[in-house]
Each structure stands twice: as structure tokens, then as C-alpha cells.
Amino acid sequence: MPYIEVGKENSGTIKIHYEDHGSGQPVVLIHGFPLDGNAWEKQKLALLTANYRTITYDRRGFGKSSKPAFGYDYDTFVADLDKLLTSLDLKDVILVGHSMGTGEVAHYLGTIGSERISKAVFVSPIPPFLLKTDDNPEGVDKSVFDGIQQTIKADRLAYLSQFLADFYNTDENLGKRVSEEVVRYSWNTASVASPRGTYECVTAWLTDFRGDLPNIDVPTLIIHGKSDRVLPFEITGNRLQTELKDSKFVALENAPHGIPWTHAEEINKEILAFAQQ
């Protein structure tokens, strides 16, 4: 299994696991919380079939990557991504993020820039800014995130069950757009993630990406489900498309947060059409 080294912790090396398949224009897929690169299963197949070089990786703390006790912030996440892109010397990249992964997309383009990037895709996005503040009254109260962290600390595995129910809207989609087996697989993946990383990522969700957005100078595609219970459509995707005025915006009716699986056909169609423009 291929890895890149991104740092040290005491006597250990911090490594990021990645998969790199196919040939053609590279597409780098950044997964959401609390899963890993395998969450892009349906997109990987479609992209490889369409002759794109397809790269996925596991965020630090998740999947097969190292699980250090630190580095669960977007400056570090972007440094890890940059190390991957430079190590593989990727150019003309289509950068695709889902959920938490859209934070890396925004912050990478906002801080490092677009020298290696040709297009960007935001699926169920976290930008522009989740936290309710005086200058962001549409956001979510800090107490909500404090409660999430308390729940993770008390019983992380029980929290994951509830989170995934909202991730897929299982009350509406189970047995239709998502199977029990997929939900179980997602739980299994999340259960072996770093407990500290799972906890600390909640703080990372509160990152203010508004300063990054004016620096995004590549074509962008935004896809968001209007029934998203994790990152509510009105305060994330709907606002993001007003900040990225030249973006293409696709709003999916009755779609949950986990649309790379539940609405894979629609997602794949939009990504491939955007890539080929």
C-alpha cells in the first residue's frame, strides 16, 4: 500500500495512505468525516471508466493513515494534501471534496493557490462558515458543537450510529438508496478512526473559510442535497454559491448528506460533465 510521510510524532512517523489508479487527467478525491478514501467507491469506478487518473487518500486519523494525537486543523490537512500533490507531482488536477473534504479544497486554493489545480468540486460543502457569530448570524450556535464533542467523549461508537443515520437519512432512504450493509460498512470504517481525531475534527468544522473564497480562481462545481441534516443546505451550499458567483450549482431535491453513495448516478454525471468542459 502506498504512503507518503508528512511528519513525526515522538518515535513514530506520520504517514498518509493513498491509492493512485488509472491514467489521464488526475482527479483527487477528498473524503468526508468520519470515513476514508473508500467512500468514493462509486465515483472511482465512474472516473476510471472515463479514463481519468483517480487518486484517493485517507485524512490523517482516518482509514489506513497514521493516527497522531495532533494536526486536526485545516492548515495541517492542507499541508498533508500539498505533500501528496507535490510528491506525486500532480498537475492540471480536478480537486473534489465531500463534506469535510470541501474544507481542504477551499483552504488549499485560498492559501496555496491553483498552480496545480484546474477545477474544483464541492459536494455537500462545509464552507463558507458554520459557526454563528456577530458577523455570521445565519450560523449554528457553538453549544451544538460542544454537545457533539461531549457525546463523542461519552460514547463515540453510539454517536457514530446516530451520525450515520443523519448522514444517509436512513429513515427515508434505507432499503432504497442505501442498504443496511453500506451503513454498517460506514460504521465499521468510522469506528476504527482515531478517537482523538474524531473529537478534534468537530473543532475544525468551525473554521472560517470566508477569507479563502475570494482567492479561488478556477472553475467550480457545487452539488448539495436539499435535505442534508449534517451540513444544512441553506447555511452552506446555498450560501457558497453566492460567494463563488461563476460556479455551477446543482441542488438535489430530497437528497441527504451522503450523496456520493445515495445519489451516485447524479453526482457522477455532474462531475464528469464538469470535468469534460
- What mean pLDDT is reported for the chain? 98
Q: What is the pLDDT of residues 47-60, one digit of tens each?
A: 999 999 999 999 99
pLDDT at site 208: 98
The one catalytic residue among 124, 228, 247, 263: 228
User: What's the whole-number mean pLDDT along residues 144-153?
Assistant: 98
**Domain count within the chain:** 1
The whole-number average pLDDT for the span 15-29 is: 98
Name the band, by pLDDT with cuts 50, 70 and 90, for residue 246: confident
Give the CA-trace dihedral at 41, 33, 121, 250, to 10 degrees.
90
Please indicate whether residue 228 is annotated as part of the active site: yes
Q: How confident is the model at residue 270 (pLDDT cuts 50, 70, 90)?
A: very high
- In this structure, the number of other CB atoms found within 10 A of the CB of residue 58 comes to 24
Looking at the predicted structure, is the pLDDT value of residue 218 above 90? yes
Domain around 39: 3-275
* CATH code (residue 155): 3.40.50.1820
Over the stretch 52-93, which tens digit does the pLDDT of each residue have?
999 999 999 999 999 999 999 999 999 999 999 999 999 999
- 21 classed as catalytic: no
Question: Rounded mean pLDDT of 5-29?
Answer: 98
Residue of 31, 98, 257, 263 with catalytic role: 257
Active site residue 87: no
Q: 3-state SS of the chain: helix, strand, coil percent to 5? A: 45, 20, 35
Phi/psi at 6 (5° precision): -120, 0
What is the predicted pLDDT for the residue at 245? 85
- Whether pTM > 0.85 for this model: the answer is yes
Average pLDDT of span 224-238: 97
Rounded to an integer, the average pLDDT of 116-120 is: 98
- Let me know the angle formed at the C-alpha of 99 by 131 and 186, rounded to the nearest 5 degrees: 125
- pLDDT for 1 beyond 80: no
Q: pLDDT grade, residue 42 (50/70/90)? A: very high
pLDDT tens digit sequence for 2-16: 999 999 999 999 999
User: Among the options 65, 66, 99, 186, which is catalytic?
Assistant: 99
* Nearest-angstrom CA–CA distance, 141 and 139: 7
Model confidence at 154, pLDDT cuts 50, 70, 90, reads: very high
